[in-house]
Amino acid sequence: MSTRTQVIDLRSDTVTKPTEAMRRAMYEAEVADDTYDGDPTVIRLQEMAAEKTGKEASLFVVSGTMGNLLGVLVNTHPGQEVILGDQAHQFLWEVGGIARIAGCVTHTVPFHRGWLDPAEVEAAIRPAAREATTTGLICVEDTSNFGGGTVIPPEHLAKICNVAKRYDLSMHMDGARLFNAVVASGQPAENFTQYVDTVAFCLSKGLGAPFGGMLCGSKELVERAISFRQMLGGGMRQAGVMAAAGIVALETGIDRLAEDHANAKKLALGLADRFPGCCDPDIVETNLFHIHVPAFGVSGQELADHLAKEGILVFPGDPRMRLATHCMISSEDIDAVLNAFDGLLERR
Ligand SMILES: *Cc1c(COP(=O)(O)O)cnc(C)c1O
């Protein structure tokens, strides 16, 4: 049994709690009714997010999921088809909002660890015809979540964008972890976002804010998104209290992501050393990666139970389990996690 008082939560980077600086900024935030007059703190956050992503404008939204749904709503008409990866978060984990609210049909293509193949995307496009379901939008995800935290590099996004342009289609990026891609690649965000009409990112994941996301794009698209956000019940009043934490997240959370990437790499290297074949450290690029549970000689549930006794939380995936690092996990915590895994070797 562990003597640590803090659990080490490897389930997701959404579990991070707001820092002192965020709580202070929230307390001190200047606020107003955002739907009537514009909340000054929300406006500041929106200006910052637009600047950081190289887009003209941005909109503060409740969650990454809302940002993605707004991205679909502003770029399509009901009845159109949206092309996206078959393991994309937008397809698997957003409760069918694309169909139920945007009224669009999803057309999935293989999600090669998060990479869409431009030829497969092109083959999925249906030409416009009076009787046909026509394609309206292509969605990409960067970094990819269920692809294992992979960075889809700008050169590859350019290839998908070329296909989109040839068929006059819009592009949306689920950039929930866009800044992980930015930090891991060392390239500015604009290099990624220049290829898409809209990009949604989360303030509440590795950036550490308690809440919220941003939808970024042209002034015209963001203007349309405001009205759809209202429809979804996402028009907020004195939202500066929440936006203030988002500002601190953007100011202090981006460069720090490099620590999460280093910790994920350290964990992957340590695990691969102990349990050959359990993961490939070479492909660990950011703060998420998958382990292959059979390599540990236990089931996903047994592994989760064993770690829980040591004060370490994971989701019991099987045969694939995702591990996530974030600002509440230190390099010393990774040593403790590796020690807990050593306990499995002793059991053998
Ligand atoms: C978490 C996540 C989302 C949704 O964000 P929420 O803020 O949890 O709604 C969207 N896309 C990806 C890739 C994610 O990992």
Residue boundaries of the structural domains of the chain: 8-15+256-347, 31-252
Determine whether the shortest distance from the Cβ of 147 to ligand 1 is under 6 A.
no
Q: What residues have CB less than 8 Å from 324, skipping those under 6 apart?
A: 10, 11, 12, 13, 264, 287, 288
**Which class is 31-252 in CATH?**
alpha beta
How far is the centre of ligand 1, averaged over its atoms, from the C-alpha of 278 (Å)?
26
Question: For residue 346, what pLDDT band results from cuts at 50, 70 and 90?
Answer: confident
**Residue pLDDT, tens place only, 302-330:** 999 999 999 999 999 999 999 999 999 99
Ligand 1 lined by 19 (C-beta under 6 Å): no
C-alpha 312/C-alpha 231 separation (Å) is 40
Q: Whose CA is nearest to atom 2 of ligand 1?
A: 176
What tens digit of pLDDT does each residue of 66-124 get? 999 999 999 999 999 999 999 999 999 999 999 999 999 999 999 999 999 999 999 99
Tokens at 234, concatenated: 């996402």
Span between the terminal Cα atoms of the chain, in Å: 18
- Residues 269-308: pLDDT tens digits? 999 999 999 999 999 999 999 999 999 999 999 999 999 9
Whole-angstrom CA distances from 226 to 67, 95, 197, 275, 291 are 11, 22, 16, 50, 40
Q: What is the pLDDT of residues 200-212, one digit of tens each?
A: 999 999 999 999 9
Nearest by Cα to 49 from 215, 209, 180, 230: 215
Nearest to 184 by CA among 291, 264, 64: 264
215 Cβ closer than 6 Å to some ligand 1 atom: no
Cα of 70 vs centre of ligand 1, distance in Å, is 13
DSSP 3-state assignment of 107?
strand
The answer to whether domain 8-15+256-347 has CATH 3.30.70.990 is no
Confidence of residue 132 (pLDDT cuts 50, 70, 90): confident
Nearest residue by C-alpha to atom 5 in ligand 1: 64
Residue 231 C-alpha from the chain's centroid: 24
User: What one-letter code names the amino acid at 285?
Assistant: E
**Nearest CA-CA partner of 324 in 182, 214, 176, 193:** 176
